């Protein structure tokens, strides 16, 4: 039984991705976690559709969303877990899947990240907060409550480096299902969706 988890750092080809890399002075702007060596399923917090960046939350990401815009650089960390730890990680991720609508992207943490700060909100995460949270469930990071950016997580996991290069050179194929990521949302849908996400965030802050 493969009891490894794979932490993935990557550089996405979006305007916001470039903005994050510039602001954080980082090679990478996105983090995800996978239970599969081939990264068939990657779990994270991100946008649901390409043209509505502020409508975001917990996602089961498909690799095609990154291949569609090029071949991004990635870095993968392979972390060996005990069977008990592995089952715990699977349970945690399953809870996110079952309660997906209860979670919201932590835009406040994302905005203050350049100042090396994070803002705790119930059921709200950025991509890196989510990855650190999952690793924290099995004590694979020093302090889950601490502030983490991509460079800091990279440094903390340096003994677990599994691969560094381009995504295609790792998976050796591009014929992945992209799901509904490229489904174009209308301006009304974008506005309504963004409003609902902000509303969920405010409720989470006040709860």
The answer to whether 53 touches 47, Cβ cutoff 8 Å, is yes
Report d(CA 110, CA 207) in Å as an integer.
20
**Dihedrals phi, psi of 62, to nearest 5 degrees:** -105, 140
pLDDT in tens, 78-122: 999 999 999 999 999 999 999 999 999 999 999 999 898 999 999
pLDDT in tens, 141-179: 988 888 889 999 999 999 999 999 999 899 887 667 777
Report d(CA 175, CA 168) in Å as an integer.
11
Q: Where are the domains of the chain?
A: 4-206
pTM (predicted TM-score): 0.93
pLDDT in tens, 7-31: 999 998 888 888 889 988 899 999 9
The answer to whether 9 touches 75, Cβ cutoff 8 Å, is yes
Structure-model confidence comparison of residues 65 and 186, the more confident one = 186
Q: Please state which architecture CATH assigns to domain 4-206.
A: Alpha-Beta Complex (3.90)
150 sits in which H/E element: helix 150-156
Structure-model confidence comparison of residues 11 and 64, the more confident one = 11
Q: How is residue 176 written in tokens? A: 């992945």
């Amino acid at each position: 039984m493969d009891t490894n988890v794979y932490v993935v750092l990557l550089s996405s080809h979006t305007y916001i991705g470039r903005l994050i890399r510039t602001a954080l002075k980082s090679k990478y702007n996105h983090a995800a976690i996978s239970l599969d060596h081939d990264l068939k399923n990657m779990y994270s917090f991100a946008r649901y559709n390409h043209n509505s960046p502020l409508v975001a939350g917990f996602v089961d990401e498909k690799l095609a969303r990154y291949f569609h815009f090029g071949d991004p650089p990635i870095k993968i960390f392979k972390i060996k877990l005990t069977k008990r730890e592995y089952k715990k990680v699977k349970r945690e991720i399953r809870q996110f899947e079952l309660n997906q609508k209860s979670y919201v992207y932590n835009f406040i943490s994302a905005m203050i990240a350049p100042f090396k700060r994070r803002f705790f909100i119930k059921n709200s995460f950025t991509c890196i907060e989510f990855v650190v949270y999952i690793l924290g469930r099995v004590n694979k990071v020093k302090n889950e409550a601490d502030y983490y950016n991509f460079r800091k997580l990279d440094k903390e996991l340096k003994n677990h480096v599994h691969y560094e290069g381009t995504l295609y050179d790792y998976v050796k194929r591009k014929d992945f299902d992209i799901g509904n990521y490229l489904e174009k949302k209308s301006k009304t849908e974008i506005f309504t969706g963004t409003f609902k996400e902000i509303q969920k965030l405010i409720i989470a802050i006040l709860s």
